[in-house]
Amino acid sequence: MKKLVIIPTYNEKENIARIIAAVMALDGGFEVLVVDDSSPDGTADIVKSLQGQYPEKLHLTIRNIKDGLGKAYIHGFRWALDNGYDYIFEMDADFSHNPNDLPKLYEACLDADMTIGSRYSKGVNVVNWPMSRVLLSYFASKYVRFILGIPVHDTTAGFVCFSRKVLEGIGLDNVKLKGYGFQVEMKFRAFKKGYKIKEVPIIFTDRTEGESKMNGGIIKEAVFGVLDLKLKSIFGKL
């Protein structure tokens, strides 16, 4: 089975070499695709310098526009499907997602269609976040679960494993949300298509290097995007 970990980047020079090395050190033949949005800090150059060290396992694609996390992932998903991967993973570059949890997500996905590295399926497992952000994230997931009726505790999670058939079946051209709303939309579309979703408890640790990409616009999109998804679902326009 071919496994690809997609890591979207924008100004991640402090983290990218270490996160690539951590994934490559795992057993199981994980490959990495870095989707870089033309980072001005030279992130892509670091990846290029490492490709000789990991021949045929480290891949890079550079986008000329920075238009949201969701668009970067969609770009990566299409690359993965075009290149014949069976299991495709989402993961942040900043070690908030522990690479050592990738095998757990993969193993769980062998008995499911989509697995989620979940911060909230067994209590609240978040390290180094201020309480205000923990509460915002936790209740955002509660809000999404209530509005959309989706049986997932961590609806905004960005540590995910998809089987190939999920990405082929949900219609990537239909996915419109770009920020954290994108994470919700992917889970909702998978749920509405009847795919089996599992949550795998993880410990989420906030970044220690680089800057967070969270902002008010991302939060606003997620809140109103969820309502739009609900309306589209009701009127059969999803």
What is the C-alpha separation between 177 and 224, in angstroms, rounded?
Answer: 10
In the chain, domain spans? 3-234
CATH of 3-234, one of 2.40.110.10, 3.20.20.70, 1.10.274.10, 3.90.550.10: 3.90.550.10
Give one word for 40, left, alpha or beta, with left for phi > 0 and alpha for psi -120 to 50.
alpha
List, for residues 50-93, the tens digit of each pLDDT value.
999 999 999 999 999 889 999 999 999 999 999 999 999 999 99
What is the C-alpha separation between 34 and 72, in angstroms, rounded?
Answer: 10
Cα–Cα separations (whole angstroms), residue 52 to 8, 41, 46, 55, 58: 20, 21, 11, 5, 9
Task: Check residue 210 and give its pLDDT.
Answer: 52
List, for residues 141-197, the tens digit of each pLDDT value.
889 999 999 999 999 999 999 999 999 999 999 999 987 789 999 999 999 999 999
Q: What is the pTM of this model?
A: 0.92
Computed over every residue of the chain, the mean pLDDT equals 92
List, for residues 202-227, the tens digit of each pLDDT value.
999 986 665 555 544 656 776 788 88
